[in-house]
Amino acid sequence: MAVRGGSNIGLIISNIMFALAFIAALVVVINVDSKKELARKGEQTAKATLAEFIGDNAIKDNAPGYDAANAKGVPVIVHLSGEIDTLKRLIGTTTADEQRIRTDLGFESGSIMEIKGRMENQLGALSSDNDALVNRVAEQDATIEALRDELDALEDDHKDSLARVRRDVEAYRDQADSYGQNVDRTIKRLEDSRSALEQDHRSERRRLQEDIDRIGQENQVLSERNRDYEGKFASTRLRATTPELLIDGQIVETEPKTGSVYIDLGEDDRLILGMRFQVFDSAEAITVSDDGTTSGSKAVIEVVRVGANTSTGKIISSVPGRPIQRGDALINAVYDPNRRFTFMVHGIFDVDQDGRATEAEANYLRSRIRAWGGEVIDGDTLPGDTDYLVLGEQPIRPLLPNANASQAQLDTYLKQRGAFDRYDELFEQATAASIPVLNANRFFLLIGQTDR
């Protein structure tokens, strides 16, 4: 029973609490409704008041700012006053009226949005112009940069060129200094050489004068000896008073068909293969000139085979109508079966007749003389028992060098002048001693060698 009674008490309390909550909710609803009614009356009063200011139609059409004012929970007039203040601050004035604002902004008609549109168009045009100017500025900057780079390159080249010029100038200055020093040294050396040359010239003149005096004395001695030499050696020269003394051999047999001849000379007579002889009819047909050359020959033969006592020759040339016969006389200026003739060969020769005289051709002539039994005198001193003097091309008298000539030029002059003087001295000595003087052509004619 006690438990049951407790449950009833709890249920009663719950019902009481529910009744109290319902009463409280009912009071709240009544209160809310009262407030809503008051608000509705206030709204109607506000609309009536607003209609007095802005008109009933504006309220019905939701005038600008109405919704915004409701959203902010402020009166429309407050909201609009705030918007007006904001616009004035945006325009930059809080006291000016519309006309003054238009005057300050610079337009008499149209709305701000229209002005804004025109200004935006102008701004766009200005922006385009600005972009074009920016591009031009960029191009000008690029051109300036390129010009600056080119200027830098030119400055670098100029610096390099200037450096090269400076180096060249330094080099030229060094060369000029060196050249000046060399010129000074050369001038000094030339002065020394000139002094030495003058001294050498004076010494050479004294020496030459002494040589002239000595040679004059020697010429007197030679002139005195010449008469003795003429008598002593007259019988041994080719220019004999008796033509029989010139004959070296005879023809012993001929073969006209083969052009061969046989002579009475051989190895025992010191005959040499290849030697040539002039053929004469007899000793009486031989004509001898003052220089020792002969004439009257009718043929030339060459030895092609040498025996002990006889040899075979072939005819090299002959005079038409004058055949070679047995008993004809043979003559060779170099050869003599009983003795050796002596020759002095001096100078340079043009043996091959090519227009150039050389020492080598002089040596060839000496070798021919030796090969055919003659003796060649070495040196340039003419012995008194020389049989023939063979002279080469006559040297040209050299021109006297000037006072500024170098030592080498003086040496060349002295060498050429010595060769010129020696040639004349040998010719005069041979002429004074009655020694036949021959050139290469006359020499080869004497020995029968005409096919050079």
DSSP 8-class letter at 349: B
Domain ranges in the chain? 48-109, 144-236, 241-335, 340-452
Residues 363 and 127: their CA atoms lie apart, in Å, by 111
Lowest-confidence region among 6-15, 116-125, 173-182, 243-252: 6-15
For 201, 280, 332, 371, 429, the CA distances from 436, given in Å and listed in that order, are: 37, 21, 15, 21, 11
Give the residue carrying structure tokens 């005409």.
450
Query: Where would I find the H helices in 322-452?
Result: 359-371, 407-432, 440-446
Give the residue carrying structure tokens 């009674």.
5
Distance, C-alpha 266 to centroid of its chain: 70
For 82, 93, 122, 123, the CA distances from 105, given in Å and listed in that order, are: 22, 11, 15, 16
Tens-place pLDDT, residues 134-167:
888 888 888 888 888 888 888 888 788 878 888 8
If you average pLDDT over residues 425-445, what whole number do you get? Answer: 84
If you average pLDDT over residues 173-190, what whole number do you get? Answer: 77
Residues 101 and 361: their CA atoms lie apart, in Å, by 133
Lowest-confidence region among 71-80, 183-192, 230-239, 254-263: 230-239
Question: How high is the pLDDT of residue 327?
Answer: 92
CATH class of the region 241-335: mainly beta
Quick one: tokens of 230?
A: 């003429």
Residues 241 and 385: their CA atoms lie apart, in Å, by 18
If you average pLDDT over residues 98-109, what whole number do you get? Answer: 66
Residues pairing with 261 in the sheet:
254, 313
Report the percent of the chain where pLDDT is more than 70: 73
Cα angle, residue 416 at apex, residues 411 and 417 outer, rounded to 5°: 95
Give the DSSP H or E segment for 139: helix 112-233
Residues 327 and 329: their CA atoms lie apart, in Å, by 6
Residues contacting residue 50 through CB under 8 Å, at least 6 positions apart:
59, 76
- As a CATH number, domain 340-452 is 3.40.50
If you average pLDDT over residues 304-329, what whole number do you get? Answer: 91
Tens-place pLDDT, residues 330-352:
988 777 777 788 899 999 998 88
- pTM of full prediction above 0.75: no
Question: How high is the pLDDT of residue 110?
Answer: 63
Quick one: tokens of 253?
A: 């047999």
In degrees and rounded to multiples of 5, residue 325 shows phi and psi of -130, 165
Question: How high is the pLDDT of residue 254?
Answer: 92
Question: How does the average pLDDT of the chain come out, rounded?
Answer: 77
Question: How high is the pLDDT of residue 51?
Answer: 61
DSSP 8-class letter at 321: T
Helix (H, G, I), strand (E, B) or coil at 225: helix
Tens-place pLDDT, residues 194-233:
777 777 777 777 777 777 777 766 666 555 555 554 444 3
Q: Looking at this protein, which amino acid is placed at residue 90?
A: L
Report the percent of the chain where pLDDT is more than 90: 11
CB of 271 closer than 8 Å to CB of 359: no
